[in-house]
Amino acid sequence: MTQTLQFENRIMKGIGGFYYVQTAAGLVCCKPKGIFRKRGISPLAGDLVTLETEGDSTVIAEIAPRKNALIRPPIANVDLLFVVAATVEPSPNYLVLDRMCAIALDKGITPILVATKTDLADPKTFCEIYADSGIEVLVADQGETAPLERIRELICGKVCAFTGNSGVGKSTLLNRLLPQLGQQTGEISKKLGRGRHTTRQVELFEAFGGLIADTPGFSSLEMERTNPILKENLQFCFPEFAPYLTQCRFTGCSHRLEKDCAVRRAVDEGKIHPQRYENYLAMYKDAEAVKEWERNGK
């Protein structure tokens, strides 16, 4: 059954303290009530809001509870994160890809990996690493339409964002996805492909019965620093670990050096790809350094 996405009363973008909210009557420009500033709350693109009239102006009176929120990029209520990676030029950095997927999962966002430039290099290794990861991998071959149809299907009824390092082909992918939108396609792909020194404002666009977020100018490092994962939560950000987490000898096993660790045994038996496990270890080391104030902010 197709999920219906609530478009009405959703913030589509914010510029200079003004927010543009999609309503039944169209896009409405408004400001938030002062109470939000006093509470230290900033509206985000993706927020579902309640509007009220104050004099001749429309204001945001309430923000509905968020199911998730990213600090950078600043966006709320994200359902899917398409992580785009080229098979070559640039070659995939699997640690970066795993960080992005883990951050998404920690926030309750479903990551989807999209391999591009498959005409230049065989995606076999890429696919093998994630074959048992529990993360869907789509191979966006230039001659295939099925992966594009799958992306359109996934977008329907969802709030989605695309991310990936410079040069991986996000703009090309978007142009292939949205050829029927003509000029708007170019505008969206240009936004999604713009440099890291440009505005960080997020804007939502309607497509395929869902919303695609323009998430400009953020890097994987920024996303990691502003959306830290606690070390005790990291194991849950690797879906392929799930069948083994209750089989470890010790409660609270970190899956690194402990005896009778079911996760490490699964790696040795080829049930978990060693590249994924190595990246887990690297990420765990970083997670140990998360400061107390960052932990309290989770």
> 234 and 198 in one domain?
no
> 145 and 21 in one domain?
no
> 195 and 88 in one domain?
yes
Task: State the pLDDT confidence band at 180, using cuts at 50, 70 and 90.
Answer: low
**Contacts of 89-97 spanning 24+ positions with Cβ under 8 A:** 89/117, 89/120, 89/167, 90/165, 90/167, 90/168, 92/126, 93/165, 94/129, 94/275, 94/276, 94/279, 95/279, 95/282, 95/283, 96/165, 96/220
CA distance 148 to 138: 9
> 144 and 77 in one domain?
yes
- Per-residue pLDDT of 267-288, as tens digits, reads 999 999 999 999 999 999 999 8
Query: CATH code at 44?
Result: 2.40.50.140
Q: Please answer whether residues 8 and 22 qualify as being in contact, where contact means their C-beta atoms are separated by less than 8 angstroms.
A: yes
> 156 and 85 in one domain?
yes
Q: Tell the residue number behind the tokens 């999609």, with chain if given.
A: 22
Domain carrying residue 260? 228-296
* Domain annotation covers residue 4: no
Task: State the pLDDT confidence band at 8, using cuts at 50, 70 and 90.
Answer: confident
* Domain annotation covers residue 5: no
Most confident of the following: 2-16, 107-121, 133-147, 189-203: 107-121
Angle between helical axes of 274-287 and 94-106 (0-180°, round to 10): 60
> 210 and 77 in one domain?
yes
Query: CATH code at 89?
Result: 3.40.50.300
> 102 and 29 in one domain?
no
Provide the pLDDT for residue 184. Answer: 45
- Which range is least confidently modeled, 21-35, 179-193, 199-213, 231-245? 179-193
Show the tokens assigned to 276: 């994924």
Task: State the pLDDT confidence band at 200, using cuts at 50, 70 and 90.
Answer: low
Is the per-residue pLDDT at 61 higher than 60? yes
Domain boundary (166, 194, 222) is at: 222
Share of residues in the chain with pLDDT > 90 (%):
60
Task: State the pLDDT confidence band at 294, using cuts at 50, 70 and 90.
Answer: low
φ/ψ region of 274 (left if φ > 0, alpha if ψ in -120 to 50, else beta) reads alpha
**Neighbouring-strand partners of residue 82:** 112, 162
> 147 and 108 in one domain?
yes
> 46 and 74 in one domain?
no
Q: Tell the residue number behind the tokens 């109470």, with chain if given.
A: 35
> 266 and 151 in one domain?
no
Is the per-residue pLDDT at 4 higher than 90? no
Domains of the chain: total: 3
Domain boundary (206, 222, 238) is at: 222
* Domain annotation covers residue 128: yes
> 248 and 174 in one domain?
no
Is the per-residue pLDDT at 108 higher than 90? yes
> 239 and 179 in one domain?
no
Domain boundary (174, 202, 222) is at: 222
